[in-house]
Structure 1
């Protein structure tokens, strides 16, 4: 998938479990929205999840068999769609459902072809780095020294706490201009 298939630039944050993807994504959203950008996010989950609380009206609607439940207020809305007999929707399918934004940050979706930053933490490094086999990794955020990131010399390297620099890179990479 390329950024041309969706009106908003798409940039991913990926890494193995407990690498700091969610922390990186949340910090980037905070930094980029502080800079005035409208940012949307997509989070891929490899497990069953629920955003509905047991006992609420919407939960009762869903448990009664509704295929979709929309919860709407003056401040926000959510649509909960049950994938009972359907395959997981593709990233493109989800992107097509989002409202326009200046940037969409995608957490997870390791195998997607969209450009991604890989987060690698020494404390959680149990698998080979994704960048070694995935050409869509365009940058790294790691607390490892460059010498410990074999074959990554061609990729920009940031410390995970350098959120300002990572945000600067994403702005440039996605050609965001005010």
Structure 2
């Protein structure tokens, strides 16, 4: 099964994460299964010093799988290897109705650009044909449809039409 994929992109503090959160809740509320991928431009850690899994990684393990009755987490240490491409990360996910992707500005999947006037950042949409709409708190004069950043239902409907969901 080919995953249905849609992205939310934009500059820092543009409202991407809040929009992602609302879209996940909206689509799940409609009965869809949803997974997400979030790109980070900085070092991050989901583990904590002293925990067993952290000690396994620090000892040199390439991958650590942590499992319980409520969740499974897999951590992969790149140890100097290049960051995996988005298509490889998508291949790691179990099949769902929709994968929402936060970030990954330069990837070729369709996206909505989150935009807040207060950031003072220019729109990405005019230079990026993968951006199909802008979700904004203003009227930024985009070359694509503009939806209100807080109108989750309209944004979700746009994505549904785009993907044929």
Q: From 113, 132, 137, give the equivalent of 2:131.
A: 137
In structure 2, what is the equivalent of residue 164 of structure 1?
Answer: 153
State the distance in 2 between where 1:46 and 1:85 align: 16
Partner of 2:50: 55
Q: CA deviation at 1:85?
A: 2.3
Please give the TM-score of this superposition, normalised by the length of structure 2.
0.96
Matching of residue 91 in structure 1 with residue 86 in structure 2: yes
TM-score, length of structure 1 as denominator length:
0.89
C-alpha distance in 2 between matches for 1:78 and 1:70: 6
Q: Number of aligned pairs?
A: 165
Distance 2:120 2:4 in 1: 29
* Unaligned 5+ runs, structure 2: none
Partners of 1:72 and 1:52 lie apart in 2 by 13
Question: What residue number does 1:21 align with?
Answer: 16
Q: CA RMSD in A?
A: 1.1
* CA–CA separation in structure 2 for the residues paired with 1:57 and 1:121: 42
Runs (4+) of structure 1 exceeding 2 A deviation are: none
CA contact (8 A) 1:43 1:106 kept: yes
Query: In structure 2, how many angstroms separate the alpha carbons of the residues matched to 1:156 and 1:34?
Result: 25
Conservation of the 8 A alpha-carbon contact between 1:39 and 1:102: yes
